[in-house]
Amino acid sequence: MKHLLTTFTCLIFTILFTSCSNNDDTNTTPPEDVAETVTDADGNVYNTIKIGNQTWMLENLKTTKFNDGTPITEYTFETFGNNWGSLIDQIALYQWADTSDLNNVVDEEIPFDFYGAMYNHFAIESGKLAPEGWRIPSLQDFIELENYLANNGESGNEATALKSITGWLPSSGNGTNSIGFNGLPNGYINGLGGPTLGNGICSWATSTVENGEINSSLKRKWVQLFDEPTILYTDTSITLGAAIRCIKIED
């Protein structure tokens, strides 16, 4: 009987030791599905998403500083008047996207930075807007994203798949957010500095701009989600402003 008790005690000790060892191993190995985060110069933390071969931020950029810590000038009407689109002084500017929600399509109060910041041409062209290791996406980056959606069950509905499921005007329609990209209707900034079509359209500027002299006819490629199920690619005057959704620089 004494021998059996000794054997049983040893067996219990072995099981407990093995269990503890396994738990220790598990705790020291991070799960593969933990989302990567990235922090900008202001300390804002962004979740990210892996889509095919790309890694995207899950929010529009909110930084008010370049990645070297230099402040970006905030546009206000009191300071700049209608000169958001001025190409003379070449000042990098930002302003917050409009959150007034005049059509009451969002039930709760919207934080001032909910849609992210909107940047002008010179902020985008600075080369210092995205956090280190990240960049402003090109037109081709968005086309690759569109192709991924088309090849994974969303052909003809790529814009709908990228849109958030709430917050859009009825005339534009909510999306399905099928891959978690959560495109929000941030609107855009017109050449006079006024927020335009908030709740109705999502506007992202790309790094792709025409070659040519800096003037009001020079165009930048924008990506827009609007009232159609497919993505709109537009040639937009550099005097306008839009949001930035950053993409990771891959090795």
pLDDT (tens digit per residue) in 161-192? 999 999 999 999 999 999 999 999 999 999 99
Q: How far apart are the first and last CA of the chain?
A: 65
Does residue 35 have a pLDDT over 70? no
Going by pLDDT thresholds of 50, 70 and 90, the confidence category of residue 102 is confident
Is the pLDDT at 144 greater than 90? The verdict is: yes
**pTM for this model (two decimals):** 0.86
State residue 12 phi and psi, 5-degree precision: -60, -45
Task: Answer whether residue 50 shows pLDDT above 80.
Answer: yes
Classify the C-alpha dihedral 197-226-87-125 as positive or negative.
Answer: positive
E strand or H helix at 94: strand 93-96
Q: What is the rounded CA–CA span in Å between residue 230 and residue 39?
A: 31
Which is more confidently placed, 17 or 3?
3
Position 14 confidence tier, pLDDT thresholds 50, 70, 90 = very low
Query: How far, in Å, CA of 190 to CA of 213, rounded?
Result: 21
- For residue 8, what are its two tokens? 């049983």
What's the CA gap between 245 and 192, in Å, rounded? Answer: 23
